[in-house]
Amino acid sequence: MAPLKVGIAGLGTVGAEVVRLIENEGRTLSARCGRGVRVVAVTARSKVKKRSLDLGGVAWAKDPVALASSEDIDCFVELMGGSGEPALSAVETALKAGKSVVTANKALIAKHGIRLAQAAEKHGGALNFEAAVGAAIPVIKTLREGLAATGINRVYGILNGTCNYILTRMEQEGLSFAECLKDAQRLGYAEANPSFDVDGHDTAQKLAILASLAFGTRVAQNAVYVEGISSIAPEDLRAASDLGYRVKLLGVAMKTAKGIEQRVHPTMVPKSSSIAQVMGVTNAVTIDGDGISPITLVGPGAGGAATASAVLADIADVARGVRVNPFGRPVDRLRATAKAPMERHEGGYYIRLMARDLAGTAATIATRLAEQKISIESIVQRHANGADAEKGLPVPVLLITYATSEDAVHRALAAVQKDKVISGRPQVIRIEKN
Ligand SMILES: NC(=O)c1ccc[n+]([C@@H]2O[C@H](COP(=O)([O-])OP(=O)(O)OC[C@H]3O[C@@H](n4cnc5c(N)ncnc54)[C@H](OP(=O)(O)O)[C@@H]3O)[C@@H](O)[C@H]2O)c1
């Protein structure tokens, strides 16, 4: 069989590694696919940039759209990034020409995945995006193919290595968020503008894709509730540890009676859970399905080689002639996403209050929680030491609640604040049980 002719747009961290991997693993790929895979054309922003890649015999296309429509390629590989141009037009052009597309672009799939899946379906090409979520972790295939016959109740994970690195260091070394962020930037784990990662938006894009695959709904990034990790203090991580938990930035998508909940926020997970063992830049996803124990996939969620490994697996599927509906079912069978309101989220909560050293404070807090029918699983009151105690400085009160609703917690805490028995804003972290 003739080799699959591939055109690659984007020769950065991932693209360059894909070119190398095709070169180095050509024989293995060919043995596994029953045909060779050949890079015939590439493009990037700059043609003259030094890239330490052997591109001899490979054509340079004048721009990504020209490459996507070239008669010389069978498969267009988009590794430029961004949900706008030129990625969107190039991918759409390739699909409309009946070519298959492989991309690692979560932003593009989260925003335009449905429109692109429609084009793929209509014109017969594949649209593969395994690398867009969890890089080397084969979570898209697991949800779409491995669990095709399993009802999914919940999928959740650590989908951003930068945040997990920061929270791990904060926990292990008692450092502040700002200190760990600075280190992450120095080591190249965080961007100069870290907001996309630490404010949870990167996780939200990936979660929206996983939710669609898990629940057969249209990808809807705007249905994801998002909170980042910048408000987490070392004392929360210490308290979590004392109470048997760790704090992770989780993306959680779950079926509830009120719709599909999609949420990204700092979360306390029991120390004994699989997800709690995942440290540093590593990613992990847990899938709860009907009739099976939870499945947890753990691995590198970023980096050129890790991401290229998933891109190559997608290219291998194209070479083999495998065609799967991009979101696991035809687009017209995907349901609209019913967004479950966050105020109605139900679960356990960790609450940290700075209680004023006044008679009756603890009783007031307990009363306000009881008025909202919130039951307390545990309560710890730290005591001020020496000088702080003499100055009458506020002392932390740490509460773990049994399952209750988010709006009940908000009402109780608003009442406690009105009573003026605490200083500052309460810290609230949701708990996810395994
Ligand atoms: N890096 C990771 O760990 C990772 C992990 C998972 C998924 N991804 C996804 O993989 C994709 C690529 O990421 P990356 O880290 O490889 O990015 P990158 O290092 O910034 O590389 C981007 C490449 O795209 C080219 N490019 C940008 N704009 C272009 C334009 N208008 N026309 C033509 N070429 C253009 C750049 O050209 P020049 O080289 O000439 O500047 C560069 O070669 C993104 O969607 C990203 O989200 C990355």
For the stretch 143-183, pLDDT in tens is 999 999 999 999 999 999 999 999 999 999 999 999 999 99
Q: Which atom of ligand 1 is nearest to the CA of 46?
A: 40
Confidence at residue 192, expressed as pLDDT on a 0 to 100 scale: 87
Q: Are 156 and 268 in contact (CB under 8 A)?
A: no
Residue 131 reports pLDDT greater than 70: yes
Centre of ligand 1 to C-alpha 244, Å, is 41
Residue 389 reports pLDDT greater than 70: no
Q: How far is the CA of 13 from the CAs of 17, 53, 79, 140, 296, in angstroms?
A: 7, 12, 9, 22, 27
Q: Which atom of ligand 1 is nearest to the CA of 15?
A: 16
Centre of ligand 1 to C-alpha 183, Å, is 24
Confidence at residue 299, expressed as pLDDT on a 0 to 100 scale: 97
Residue 408 reports pLDDT greater than 80: yes
**Residue 206 bears catalytic tag:** yes
Q: Are 301 and 134 in contact (CB under 8 A)?
A: yes
Phi and psi at residue 244, to the nearest 5° = 95, 25
Residues forming beta bridges with residue 39, ordered by sequence position? 6
- Best of 42, 50, 79, 102 for a ligand 1 pocket test (most atoms within 8 Å of beta carbon): 79
Centre of ligand 1 to C-alpha 12, Å, is 5
Confidence at residue 257, expressed as pLDDT on a 0 to 100 scale: 87
Confidence at residue 390, expressed as pLDDT on a 0 to 100 scale: 67
